A and B are shown apart, each in its own frame.
Chain A
Amino acid sequence: MLEISNLEVVYNDVILVLRGLSIPVPDGEVVALLGSNGAGKTTTARAVTGLLGVHEGDVTKGSITWKGQDITHAPPASIVKSGISQVMEGRRCFGELTVDENLATGAFTNRANQKESYDRVMELFPRLAERRDQLAGYMSGGEQQMLAIGRALMSGPELLIMDEPSLGLAPLLVQQVRDVIKEINATGTSILLIEQNAMMALSIANTGYIMENGKIVMDGDAQKLLADDDVKEFYLGLHGNDEDDEDAGRKSFKDVKHYKRKKKWAS
């Protein structure tokens, strides 16, 4: 179980990005983390995997515990070894390496079970098996996303953090990624799914968290969030369907302001 509690992250000693963020990820569950650009979703992923240092960021308050151990300031290599791996935003495949070599880098900390992990990835993504000797840089976006997910699975993770796996993919491929996530979760791997595509994320998640300006502004059961009118309005981009509402198209700016006030009060 991953427990992020009251986390505060600062970039360059001045820019406060996370302001007291708390998210638990229970074993075997899919937790969706939603929010608009700049809310701090990717920063959360970096904080958990120890990559804040690369971006001059630092955890100034709060803690991250994984399986009862504090990993707040642990180096990335030991975090990967302990069973957390990440599918990075924008795929970040090693373009000059072949598919097989990319997968080998994923198994860097998991030499003992490299063969089993490799077979499992090949079973999950038959497409990769066809292209194992091809340079990753020459593959399509969808294939690269498959490779990025496969690479993250090579370390045999117990928790997989996925940062916008549907970014820039065609709707059909988003569907495919969704199925893959479900399949990975079915084998017992818990998943922290960071997404802008709230519909897709909430449709497979157990719990959902909505972030804004470095804080959780709403959380709850994924199905309930999907049904919530405010979530629909502001995060799913669906308009209210009240039949008795005269201008059902859009809420006015006043309502938006009211909504923000209400949120602040509630959090």
Chain B
Amino acid sequence: MLFFAQATALATFTGAITRAIALGCIYAVVALGFVIVFKATQVLNFAHGGIAMAGALFMSIMVNDAGFPFLPFGNPFVNGEDRPGVMVWILLLAIAMAITAGLAMVLERVAIRPMVGQPLFSLAIITLGIEVAISAFNRDAVNTPNARSLEFPWGTNFWEILGANVNHSYLVAVLAAAFSFGVVFFFYRSRLGVAMRAVAFDQEAAMAQGINVGRVFQIAWAIGGALACLGAVVYSMAPFGPQGAVSSDLHPVLAFRALPVIILGGLDSVTGALIGGLVIGSAEVLAGQYLSGYTSFLGVGYQAIVPYVIMLGVLLVRPYGLFGTPEIRRV
């Protein structure tokens, strides 16, 4: 204990910076889904947080309550008796992402598509309505007696690097971000991705090329939904807020922490989502670490407002974000 109390400055810094990068990567994944939907459809998707949490719930239902019919836990990939092994867990995550993508596609078809061509403000309000409806589902699902654990195979294991505890989940967060941005990078160069960027740039001209705009919207929502699910699951990992389980704490964070990230990076910029996520995540963690001596002055939990302070500052200087298209868009 004495050793921990006198942890070196270097160890503190290593712990804080790795945690900062991990949290930043998670925020970036959540923001990326939001950006993809906005870039393609110009719809500010306020339901993103709700969809994300629903995705984490799908995941918990599969690993927790029922398992998955074709993948019993007692197979060669499994390391414990009642816990899925890494391979099975990743497969289940992929299935959860697919289900969430399906949910997002249904929402788009039912609530958004009939409104295409209406003012963007109305569309944003509709997504707000979807958000309320999904949160009702989320609340009910979370309130079941079972703990909504996500059974992360790496649990709370950590490496000791330079005297600091670096959780395995930090690496997972970085890998999740690398995967998401990698997939989006390659997708944007594929046939459909090029069509999506064309639609984002000029819808009418894209239609004139024979691109089915409705289908492009649907795919954008599907990708947004899948990324929302991934972001929510990785955010639920141990050292971060929800401590390895889906809880109602998850929802407000996903819904509102992505906002400073995308406003910092620009609503329609993929690079902006990555940089914005890293900046906001770092600011939150580093402020929590190094300003904690002033708690009497700043109050408890002050680090939660740091992202919004940064957002305010950026809005004053660059209203369209650091990487956004400098064009007036009223939403």
Residues of chain A at the chain B interface (Cβ within 8 Å):
49-51, 54, 56, 75-77, 79-81, 85-86, 88, 92-97, 101-102, 104-106, 108-109, 111, 151, 155
Task: State the 4 A-B residue pairs at the shortest beta-carbon distance, nearest first.
Answer: A80-B210, A109-B210, A92-B205, A105-B198
A102 and B211 alpha carbons, distance in the complex (Å): 12
Question: Which chain A residues border B212 with CB–CB below 8 Å?
Answer: 75, 77
A76 and B205 alpha carbons, distance in the complex (Å): 11
Output the least CB separation between B154 and chain A (Å): 40
Question: Which chain A residues border B117 with CB–CB below 8 Å?
Answer: 54, 56
Q: Closest residue to A102 on the B side, CB-wise?
A: B198
Instruction: Determine if A94 and B202 form an interchain contact, defined as CB atoms under 8 angstroms apart.
Output: yes
Instruction: Determine if A92 and B198 form an interchain contact, defined as CB atoms under 8 angstroms apart.
Output: no
- The 15 listed contacts between A and B (C-beta, < 8 Å) are A76-B210, A77-B207, A85-B210, A88-B204, A88-B205, A92-B204, A97-B198, A97-B201, A101-B197, A105-B194, A105-B206, A105-B211, A111-B191, A151-B209, A155-B210
Question: Which chain A residues border B56 with CB–CB below 8 Å?
Answer: none
Let me know if B271 is at the binding interface, CB within 8 A.
no
Let me know if B303 is at the binding interface, CB within 8 A.
no
Let me know if B195 is at the binding interface, CB within 8 A.
yes
A101 and B206 alpha carbons, distance in the complex (Å): 12
Let me know if B203 is at the binding interface, CB within 8 A.
yes
A49 and B200 alpha carbons, distance in the complex (Å): 20
A96 and B117 alpha carbons, distance in the complex (Å): 23
Output the least CB separation between B301 and chain A (Å): 41
Q: Closest residue to B193 on the A side, CB-wise?
A: A101
Instruction: Determine if A76 and B201 form an interchain contact, defined as CB atoms under 8 angstroms apart.
Output: no
Question: Which chain B residues border A50 with CB–CB below 8 Å?
Answer: 207
Instruction: Determine if A49 and B208 form an interchain contact, defined as CB atoms under 8 angstroms apart.
Output: yes
Question: Which chain B residues border A76 with CB–CB below 8 Å?
Answer: 207-208, 210
If A51-B208, A75-B212 are given as contacts, then 7 extra A-B residue pairs at C-beta distance below 8 Å, sorted by A number, are A51-B207, A76-B210, A77-B207, A88-B204, A93-B205, A97-B198, A104-B191
Question: Which chain A residues border B207 with CB–CB below 8 Å?
Answer: 50-51, 54, 76-77
Question: Which chain B residues border A79 with CB–CB below 8 Å?
Answer: 210
Partner of B197, one of A80, A88, A97: A97
- For window 178-217 of B, CB contacts with A under 8 Å fall at 191, 194-195, 197-198, 200-212
Most chain B C-beta atoms within 10 Å of own C-beta, residue among A85, A86, A94, A95: A94
Question: Which chain B residues border A77 with CB–CB below 8 Å?
Answer: 207, 210-212
Output the least CB separation between B200 and chain A (Å): 8
Instruction: Determine if A94 and B210 form an interchain contact, defined as CB atoms under 8 angstroms apart.
Output: no
Instruction: Determine if B211 and A95 form an interchain contact, defined as CB atoms under 8 angstroms apart.
Output: no
A105 and B117 alpha carbons, distance in the complex (Å): 22
Question: Which chain B residues border A105 with CB–CB below 8 Å?
Answer: 194-195, 198, 206, 209, 211
Question: Which chain B residues border A94 with CB–CB below 8 Å?
Answer: 197-198, 201-202, 205-206
Instruction: Determine if B208 and A88 form an interchain contact, defined as CB atoms under 8 angstroms apart.
Output: yes
Instruction: Determine if B209 and A81 form an interchain contact, defined as CB atoms under 8 angstroms apart.
Output: no
A239 and B208 alpha carbons, distance in the complex (Å): 39
A151 and B205 alpha carbons, distance in the complex (Å): 11
Instruction: Determine if B208 and A108 form an interchain contact, defined as CB atoms under 8 angstroms apart.
Output: no
A196 and B207 alpha carbons, distance in the complex (Å): 25
Q: Closest residue to A104 on the B side, CB-wise?
A: B194
Mark interface residues in B233-276 (1 if CB within 8 Å of A CB, else 0).
Answer: 00000000000000000000000000000000000000000000
A155 and B204 alpha carbons, distance in the complex (Å): 17
A106 and B205 alpha carbons, distance in the complex (Å): 10
Q: Closest residue to B268 on the A side, CB-wise?
A: A96
Question: Which chain B residues border A54 with CB–CB below 8 Å?
Answer: 117, 203-204, 207
Partner of A80, one of B200, B205, B209: B209
A76 and B212 alpha carbons, distance in the complex (Å): 8
Output the least CB separation between A84 and chain B (Å): 10
Instruction: Determine if B209 and A155 form an interchain contact, defined as CB atoms under 8 angstroms apart.
Output: yes
Question: Which chain A residues border B202 with CB–CB below 8 Å?
Answer: 92, 94
Instruction: Determine if B205 and A108 form an interchain contact, defined as CB atoms under 8 angstroms apart.
Output: no
Question: Which chain B residues border A56 with CB–CB below 8 Å?
Answer: 117
Output the least CB separation between A136 and chain B (Å): 9
Instruction: Determine if A96 and B197 form an interchain contact, defined as CB atoms under 8 angstroms apart.
Output: yes
Q: Closest residue to A136 on the B side, CB-wise?
A: B201
